Amino acid sequence: MTAETSPVKRGTADKPEKIRCDACPVMCYIAEGRAGACDRYANENGELVRLDPLTILENSDTPVVPFLEREWDGDIVSGDEAFITAVGSGTTYPDYKPAPFIVASKTADADMITVVTEGIFSYCGAKVKIDTDRHLGSECAWVRSEGEIIGHVTTSEYGSQMLSLGGVNHLTGGSKKEGRATCSALLALCNGESVQLSIDNGAELEIAAGQAPIVNGQTEERMRVGCGSATVGMFAAQWQGLVDEVVVVDDHITGVMSEHQAGKVIGWKPTGIKIKGRRSTPGRYFQVAEPGTGWGGTDLTDPLAILDKWKPEAWPGLSILMVSTTGENAAYYELNDDLVPVQKDMPERLRPSVQRIEENCEPSLASVLFMAGAGGSLRSGVTENPVSLTRSVQSRLTRVTCGGAPVMMWPGGGITFMSDVTQMPKNAFGYVPTPALVAPIEFTMSRADYQALGGHMDYVMPLEDALKGVTGRQSDHRLSGRRSESRKKGAPWPVGKEPAK
């Protein structure tokens, strides 16, 4: 604790002493045996204690006896073996302090420095990808949690609907209730928990990172193999000779086999079919129906609704397969003497092709990317001249990780990044009731580069000391413990060589 945060007596002997925590702007007075408003710091015998354990990654894809539970042999530990994450490390608030851990290690015979801190992010949010062909809501429609607006629907991507949640305007720019609801939803999503959301004039959702999304109470099973046009192209040869016409119903681009270039190339016979909708190019139609949760992401329950009267070249007995982009919906028809489609049982000869569409659809998942900008206050924990860190990150001399997980750095000014929350350790995120998220961030570079950017060299500690639980000299709190996790399967090691760009 700093001088400002030394134990403060409040009241008589009947009331226990309280200490003031300065880990965030709330500045809680915490009584003995109690935690602060964030549930991350507590008063233990008059000492400020960080409740979440410091998390250390081990460089192993397979379960092993945790490094921290093995007998310490006193040997120097390499950065190739262990990595101190920022999960449980503490913050630099009120921003004049060096980061809680500035750790020296040796990796592949190179001297490395990793600066470890938990950032308090008001400028943060989540980009959510929901694999589904169903219409969730109109672009820019509000997304709500607990009745409060926490984000909006953004542009659809191939086979997926996208949400943009959080951000400073929802966290701090609205009512207290809106800020709290936004912070609560972001915290749960980033920690892998299930969250219920509603979209104005759209769907009800239940999502969790890495799990199948639930849309209007129905669990999504697969994302589409492609748009209607792409599906026609991929499976044209497999349908040739088995059926006279194939229509792949899609909210975006409905494909018609006999008109499509794929059909033309392989010699598909014209059928005289007419489609309601806006013709784009031969065999490709836009706006055949309204968006919805029916066939191919349309509002259709009867696919025949997109068919107009047939042209004279059509003939009685003409066979038609109508199918959605996931194979979830499929029906077979034949034209009667009046050239009206009549539904028949699906012929056995066509079942394998419908199953092939399903087989080529990947499982539906909800993906959550944490997105944030690392501001000046966080950077001052690395160096007294924050812009030097920004320049080092932009020039790829410094690698940024989030709980040891790789990040995607946005180009342009600042340090703006995104990271897959499923690649991070358990419960990597916390919050402060300002409201804001608390997220781990680590900066790793060579010792020479750290010294050159004006880093806090007086606070560098060997990796072995950090593993033993020694806190940095700049820490104002005591750690409650440490935990060990293996790195996520397939994830790059945080202090490995940066790939060439």
How far CA 220 is from CA of 133, 207, 326, 359, 404, in Å, comes to: 9, 11, 11, 15, 31
428/389 Cα distance (integer angstroms): 24
What's the confidence (pLDDT) of residue 448? 96
Q: What is the pLDDT of residue 5?
A: 40
pLDDT at 481 over 60: yes
Map out the domains of the chain as residue ranges.
3-50, 54-122+375-486, 124-219, 228-359
Question: Which pairs count as long-range contacts for 32-40, CB under 8 Å and 24+ apart, including other chains?
Answer: 37/432, 37/433, 38/430, 38/431, 38/432, 38/433, 38/438, 39/430, 40/430, 40/432, 40/438
Q: What is the DSSP letter of 108?
A: T
DSSP state of 356: H
Q: If you write DSSP's letter for every residue of 367-384 in order, what string do you get? A: EEEEEEEE-HHHHTTTBS
Q: At what angle do helices 351-359 and 228-239 cross, to 10 degrees?
A: 140
Confidence of residue 399 (pLDDT cuts 50, 70, 90): very high
pLDDT in tens, 40-69: 788 888 888 878 888 888 887 655 555 555
Work out the percent of the chain whose per-residue pLDDT is above 90: 67
| pTM of the predicted model as reported, rounded to 2 decimal places | 0.87
Tokens of residue 224, six digits: 């589409």
Residue 472's pLDDT band (cuts 50, 70, 90): low
Q: pLDDT grade, residue 7 (50/70/90)? A: very low
Q: Which residue type is seen at 377?
A: S
352-386 residue pLDDT tens: 999 999 999 999 999 999 999 987 678 989 998 99
Mean pLDDT for 124-144 is 96
**Coil, strand, or helix at residue 67?**
helix
Task: Give 169-195 pLDDT, tens digit per residue.
Answer: 999 989 999 999 999 999 999 999 999
DSSP letters, 327-339, are: SSSEEEEEE-TTS
Other beta carbons less than 10 A from residue 121's beta carbon? 26
| Contact of 101 with 93, CB cutoff 8 Å | no
d(CA 70, CA 495): 23
pLDDT of residue 498: 54
Rounded to 5 degrees, φ, ψ at 186 are -65, -45
Which of the two residues, 499 and 253, has the higher pLDDT score? 253
Rounded distance between C-alpha atoms, residue 466 and residue 485, angstroms:
16
